[in-house]
Amino acid sequence: MKKAIILILGIACIILIFYGIKSDLQNIKEVSNKEKVDPRTVSYNGFLRTQGSKLVNSKGEEIQLRGISSHGLQWYKDLYTYDNLQTLRDTWQTNVFRIAMYTDPNQDGYIKNNSLKEDVITIVDRLIELDMYVIIDWHILSDNNPQTYQTQALSFFDELSQKYSNTPNVIYEICNEPNGDITWENNVKPYAEALINVIRHNAPNALVIVGIPQWCKDLTPVSKNPLSFSNVIYSVHFYAGTDGKLLRNKMTEFLNNDLPIFVSECGITDNTGNGQIYEYEFKEWVNYLNENNISWLFWSFSTKEESSSILTKEYTPYIKPESSNDEEPSEPLANDLNNYLTSTGQIIKNILISYPKD
């Protein structure tokens, strides 16, 4: 009798151990599968390139990047902490962030304030660590012609493309929005050729975004006379209160000419970045972008009191004190940006998280 009990207990133990090991193995397999195939990461996708009108990853699969653009780095750089970028990745499900570095000296941009380059590098390195794509945006705006500071742009991108020559995360946006008294043929195209030559020399596989005339809306001259480089993508910017079907029709025509488009900036207001919110029109835009697999980034990650901001002015980020690098904030939730969303922030977050998991 005793022997029989011992035997039964023994068999029961063996069965339990067997199932324990099996479920452990299953867990390990599930975790390692997840680690291997998260299709939003740079480790999965590698260097991006263009193929006709499409953007594809290193395996030739189509890809759509979605993310948020910073506001002017000179004003809001403290917001782009590692924790906040991680939140954009994990809770907002984005895979790209854009660093808008204004150039205009009259706006305290890079031409006057060279130390912004160090801030760009700090944020780029955070995004590399987070396995996300990052766009370095030479944010011309009131300095309408990209040729005005071409010399400075050449040395800026020369240095950064050397530094990040083998880093698939980094995408170069060489001029935000050319505007004013300039043309594609005489100003933007020659500027782009000079810049792309330098970037390609250092980082032959890098994707380059080229802003086009009239605040990134005038596609016609580009279509007639595109750049002859590969892996170049043209940026179109829209603001839902200003731009609609007319611009979308032009984009469709452009795509049909086998040329690629990247929406490196877009907004839910009119083009002032303030005033009314055009939620319905913005969602029409997002549907169009999804149908065509066009990447897009939202303007903007800021706390400025204007309706394009995703955060309220009360938000302040938690900055880790220098001396206690590893310490957790005592009240982490108090600094969670998700608790300080404007209605714009809430709408954009909902749009981003409603995508099916890739």
Task: List interacting residues with ligand IDC (CB under 6 A).
Answer: 107, 141, 176-177, 215, 237, 239, 265, 271-273, 299, 304, 306, 308
The Cα–Cα gap between 186 and 130 comes to 40
Angle, helices 150-163 vs 116-129, to 10°: value is: 30
The Cα–Cα gap between 298 and 309 comes to 10
Q: Which residue is nearest to ligand IDC (CB)?
A: 273
Smaller CB separation from ligand IDC, 84 or 107: 107
> Minimum distance between the CB of residue 235 and ligand IDC, rounded to whole angstroms?
10
Instruction: With H, G, I as helix, E, B as strand and everything else as coil, classify residue 49.
Output: strand
Half-sphere exposure of 139 (CA within 13 A, CB side): 25
> Minimum distance between the CB of residue 314 and ligand IDC, rounded to whole angstroms?
18
- How many beta carbons lie within 10 A of that of residue 4, not counting itself? 8
The Cα–Cα gap between 68 and 266 comes to 9
> Minimum distance between the CB of residue 309 and ligand IDC, rounded to whole angstroms?
8
Smaller CB separation from ligand IDC, 69 or 94: 69
Instruction: With H, G, I as helix, E, B as strand and everything else as coil, classify residue 102.
Output: strand
- Nearest to residue 42, comparing CAs of 118, 129, 143, 138? 129
The Cα–Cα gap between 132 and 171 comes to 11
> Minimum distance between the CB of residue 137 and ligand IDC, rounded to whole angstroms?
9
Catalytic residues: 177, 265
Angle, helices 150-163 vs 189-202, to 10°: value is: 20
Bridge-partner residues for 171, per DSSP?
135
- Expressed in angstroms, the distance from the first to the final Cα of the chain is 59
> Minimum distance between the CB of residue 99 and ligand IDC, rounded to whole angstroms?
13
Cis geometry, peptide bond prior to residue 300 (ω within 30 degrees of 0)? yes
- How many beta carbons lie within 10 A of that of residue 340, not counting itself? 17
Smaller CB separation from ligand IDC, 109 or 168: 109
| Distance, C-alpha 92 to centroid of its chain | 12
> Minimum distance between the CB of residue 272 and ligand IDC, rounded to whole angstroms?
5
- Nearest to residue 180, comparing CAs of 231, 133, 207, 214? 214
Q: What amino acid is encoded at 202 in this protein?
A: N
Smaller CB separation from ligand IDC, 81 or 308: 308
Smaller CB separation from ligand IDC, 44 or 239: 239
Smaller CB separation from ligand IDC, 195 or 216: 216
